[in-house]
Amino acid sequence: MGVHLGNYCYVLIIVLVLGKEVRSQSLTNGYYSTSCPKAESIVRSTVESHFDSDPSISPGLLRLHFHDCFVQGCDGSVLIKGKSAEQAALANGGLRGFEVIDDAKARLESECPGVVSCADILALAARDAVDLSSGPSWRVPTGRKDGRISLASEASNLPSPLDSVAVQKQKFQAKGLDTHDLVTLLGAHTIGQTDCQFFRYRLYNFTVTGNSDPTISPSFLTQLKTLCPPNGDGSKRVALDIGSPSKFDVSFFKNLRDGNAILESDQRLWSDSETNDVVKKYASTIRGLLGFRFDKEFSQAMVKMSSIDVKTDVDGEVRKVCSKVN
Catalytic (active-site) positions: 67
Q: Is 189 annotated as a binding residue?
A: yes
What are the helix (H) ranges across the chain? 39-53, 57-70, 98-111, 118-132, 165-173, 179-186, 201-204, 218-227, 251-257, 264-267, 273-283, 292-305
Is 71 known to sit in a ligand binding site? yes
- Cα 59 to Cα 67, 94, 131, distances in angstroms: 12, 12, 11
Q: Measuring CA to CA, how many Å separate 232 from each of 100, 216, 227, 236, 264?
A: 33, 20, 9, 8, 20
Asked if residue 131 belongs to a known ligand binding site, the reply is: no
State the CB neighbour count (10 A cutoff) for residue 208. Answer: 6
Binding residue per annotation — 274? no
134 marked as part of a ligand binding site: no
Between helix 165-173 and helix 273-283 the angle, nearest 10°, is 90
Bin 145: left if φ > 0, else alpha if -120 < ψ < 50, else beta: beta
By three-state DSSP, how is residue 5 classified? strand
Closest CA to 298 of 280, 282, 316, 276: 282
195 annotated as belonging to a binding site for a ligand: no
Q: What are the contacts of 200-207 at 24+ separation with CB within 8 A?
A: 200/228, 200/230, 200/234, 202/264, 203/228, 203/230, 204/230
Task: Please check if 68 is assigned to a binding site.
Answer: yes
Q: Which residues pair with 193 in a beta bridge?
A: 239
Q: Which positions make up the binding site?
A: 68, 71, 73, 75, 77, 86, 159, 189-190, 241, 249
Q: Which positions make up the binding site for heme b?
A: 189
Q: Which positions make up the binding site for substrate?
A: 159
Q: Which positions make up the binding site for Ca(2+)?
A: 68, 71, 73, 75, 77, 86, 190, 241, 249
